[in-house]
Amino acid sequence: MNKGKVAVGSDHAGYEYKEKLKDVLTELGYACEDFGAASTASVDYPSIGRGAAEAVASGQCQWGLLICGTGVGMAMVANRVKGVRAALCYNEEVAGVTREHNDANVIVLGQRTMGLQEAEKTLRVFFATEFSGDERHIRRIAAIDE
Ligand code: RB5
């Protein structure tokens, strides 16, 4: 079952989780397009995050998964790209609500700020939760891009 393509990216501080969470996405039926990093060697997150975010904005990928040490830098970068709604998800509740309310299309995780098990659970909730489609949320999301 192919559910669409996920643009995946990390810096060195998110590399380990990126590699592990790609397997989870594959198990869930998503294809992954990897924008780096290719190892734990130090690399700057903006170019990798921007590449992945632009792939989501252009429709080349339907979703994104970005990971750095805290998730903050990747979220800052991804949200500069119009059409991207990147959510720094620090627990399962946030992952669910941001899908329901914000129709987030990029999940951002911090490898240094959450355990791998929590990161995996958070990722699973994000991809299992649908946007509510409520009029008020559609209006608010549209206002972000205006
Ligand atoms: C890298 O040391 C670290 O600054 C980066 O992964 C991230 O946490 C930035 O937001």
Per residue in 47-68, pLDDT tens? 999 999 999 999 999 999 999 9
- 46: Cβ below 6 Å to ligand 1? no
Q: What percent of the chain has pLDDT over 70?
A: 99
Q: Half-sphere exposure (CA, 13 Å, Cβ side) for 41?
A: 3
Cβ(111)–Cβ(17) below 8 Å: yes
For residue 12, is pLDDT > 90? yes
Q: What is the pLDDT of residues 89-127, one digit of tens each?
A: 999 999 999 999 999 999 999 999 999 999 999 999 999
Indicate which residues carry an active-site annotation.
68, 101
Q: What's the rounded Cα separation, in Å, for the pair 94 and 60? A: 26
For residue 143, is pLDDT > 80? yes
Burial class (CB in 10 A: 0-12, 13-18, 19+), 53: buried
For residue 1, is pLDDT > 70? no
- 49: Cβ below 6 Å to ligand 1? no
**Domains of the chain in sequence order:** 5-145 (3.40.1400.10)
Spacing, Cα 121 to ligand 1 middle (Å): 22
- 75: Cβ below 6 Å to ligand 1? no
Q: For residue 118, what is the enclosing H or E element? A: helix 116-128
Q: What is the pLDDT of residues 26-45, one digit of tens each?
A: 999 999 999 999 999 999 99
Helix 15-28 with 116-128: angle, nearest 10 deg? 40
- 68: Cβ below 6 Å to ligand 1? yes
The reported pTM is 0.98
Spacing, Cα 132 to ligand 1 middle (Å): 32
Model confidence at 2, pLDDT cuts 50, 70, 90, reads confident
